[in-house]
Structure 1
Amino acid sequence: MCYKPHHDHRWLMENEHDQGAGSQRDDVQVCRCLLHKQPQADELLSSEPRANITGRPPEKEDTRDVVTKHAAPTADQDSTLSPEDRVIAEVIHSTSFAYLPIQLQRLTQEYLSQFYTREAKSRSESLDQFTARLKTMQDFFGLEVTGNLDSNTLEVMKKPRCGVSDVSSYEHFNGKPKWEKSMVTYRITEYTSDMNQRQVDATIAQAFKLYSDVIPLDFKQIFSGTADIMILFKARYHGDFYPFDGPSGVLAHANSPGPNQGGDTHFDEDEQWTLDGKGINLLLVAAHEFGHALGLDHSKDRNALMYPTYSYVETRGYSLPKDDRRGVQALYGQYYWKKSNLFRGVQFKSIKSTWSSISTVDAAYEDTYKNVAYLFQGKQFWATKGTTLQPGYPKSISHFGFPSWVTALDAAVYVASTRKTLFFVKNFYWSYNEAQRKMDHWYPRQISWDFPGIGNRVDAAFENSGYLYFSEGPRQTEYIYKTKRINRVLLNYGWLDCY
């Protein structure tokens, strides 16, 4: 991932294989981050004369000069046009932007070829194929799917972004490469001069911790020898086949998991690395690159760290967004914490080692009246007593009465005093009557209506000693359900003896 906060830069990332003589790897997928300083759509539209696709000469301008410099050619204007130019001409002619500069037309074609073509590019693409890719792009970004090159589509195309082809929701690299070990080592061989070594070590460790907090994988820094992930800050040529190109160019690249160069991550020392949003934020760039080094591709979720386009976000208290968490957990599994009055400390256990048929859990709750726990993953759930899954599962969550648009739960908690279970999905919640085994009437309701002060979303929830605990990111609210008021605000880490 890389970015520049200036509006006149696009950032691209290429996902490709190491090639060339002497390459040690031909099976590691490389993420290369590039910033191309290109004319933007608004600049082109305002500064360059519009194309005259009718063939009639504009007033006060030489016809031949218009044709050679500014015209957006139509298929019948010039028999020497390339197939690509013919497609562009037809598409531009069929849109509301009939007077677009040829340079902008080529930018559109290059954009779609770069990000919406999985197979090898062809120079003989039909108009239908071009339009289909344009519609795919519009659908990906939630735009009106018209197949026309409208202003909203152009606005998205000119945003800074990553150059790996777009995919829906979280995604993994081809073959789903991952680290087949529980401890991954890393070593920083060359540091940036933009901050001291202690700051770099702490920031890199924090980026890795975003992942170790949610998967059963640990990261350890070593200071000599060869680590699994070798990290360096260096300008220009730095020992691989992808030299950096100075300020505002390539910012960083990372390999997918594997032996030798697998996972290696390089940062361009010509950039200005910072801990805030004034330069290139090291935490966000490193966390995105380490996502690739762990096997993650790009996501369709606008809130995901692995989303193709980038905008700076506040990093204080930053935690891995839900889509990225689900993506990396789908590769490495998930673990849970167990705390009890029967033993000291906190026990960490892999979900899969406890329940072999379940790798990840979106939400869970325990009905203490029945002494049964329920585990939810996507649109299905399991019942378990202790560590023993009950027969007849998994079942569909429609069993509880959820509408079809609910595809996963965010959190669930059983309230012993009422024998009701609260389910949380986005900014809504439901109340389920365990005794009557059906949803209460008039649900769902907005979380903020009935739980003022806890926020609009709930990532996790549980009950302890009569209090309900609602978490969103690192923040946790201790809530008195009977009186509907907040008792105190905590940090999630307190339960893990991290205070």
Structure 2
Amino acid sequence: MMIMAFFGTSSTESLPEEDIAKAQDYLSRFFSDVGVSAPGSVSRSSLDSFEDGLRKMQEFFGIGVTGQLDSQTLDVMSRRRCGVSDVARYGYFDNQPKWDKKEITYRVTDYTAAMSQNEVDGALAKALRLYSDVTPLQFRQIHTGPADLMVMFKAKSHGDFFPFDGPNGTLAHAFSPGEGHGGDTHFDEDEIWTLTSSGTNLFLVAAHEFGHALGLAHSQVQSALMFPTYQYVVTDGYHLPEDDRLGIQALYGIRGTAPEPTVNPGPMPQPVPDPIPEPVPDRCSSDLVLDAASSIHNTLYFFKDNYYWRRRSFWDGIRIRKIQILWPGINKVDAVYEISGRHSTVIAIEGKVYWKIRRHTIQPGYPKPLRNLGFPSYVRRVDAAVHLIYSSKTLYFVNNMYWSYNERRNRMDPGYPKYIYRDFSLSRVDAAFEYRGYLYLSSGSMQMEYDYKRGRVIRSFFNYQWMNCS
């Protein structure tokens, strides 16, 4: 979230590039299932994509749906808010994750300097009582060891791939229920935390973020606690608004109610032995080697064997599914990439063939042989592929070499293949994807974050560090 200047014009194209870029960043962060390429001289489709993102945001906040970066839209974008995406279904995170137990533990590992420890503990306990008052959930604070909800106050980059942005922007964010980082709740230490209407009221923000940590997404009801922008209300005698109460009770039930008794139960069924499950890749293994990875519709997909992990945002948890459920007819992929635009296209490669996919539907006439892309006959498998948005080039990695494909001219660039190590300081690449302006290249269990515009390595880390593992 950023503070932006207000302009009265209704024409997006007449606004300064800086303001359009800030709006693009807002849409990418908080409406991440919408294409949000910034408009400019590139193409009409990029402008349409940007305006579609604006319409989605305007519809969510109940303001005039113009598709233009007008003053009312800029006003909403300037408000202090939660850092969790606004894109979710029915007010819950995807697949409605929740805790499968009634007692939830929480622990504060780093306190804010703006308040005493007792004040922080009191505000957090009061925020959690909003939920225990209306559901069977109980919350217990612990002071050592791992807890379900790990709470911290940190500024800027703090280890979860989503740094805070300084005062008066993104106030906090939290992960949905689940393993690893699931339930963890982070507050921006650059804010001035208080228990009053001045500064930022910790009780109100904590109550909102704990809603995420328990499974609630953002609400479009402006009076709801889970509305994404910060709004101060009197906290004395505060209770969950109806929209939030109905949402949390739909996940966990109503406090004090017992299940209906079974009437005239029939004979107990004979036990059926559980089927032997097929092995599922361990996403948290330090030895995890990825088959492929890509950002598709602003969602990260990581492929291994017959499965893929999907992470829509860094707080929505990790989902694992069979590849065949996503793309019927494809069991495994060696490389995958998205060519974004008005009609986004995904290319999935396995062995000597590739598929073209739009809206998760394989297009007629596929698979086709790799030679149709311009590969020589000796290339029987692609290890990794990534499309670079800024250049409209796709890089294909094969053993210790790589090719560059010009998507505008539909042909391989001259002068390729080249040795990977000469340009990327790696001997081979197993998976590759672009995310938030950086190139990520996996080799074995390690991954390199690469600034390809400046031609330098930023850092290296394990593949599993994307997977919400503690």
Please give the TM-score of this superposition, normalised by the length of structure 1: 0.45
Taking structure 2 as the reference length, what is the TM-score of the superposition? Answer: 0.48
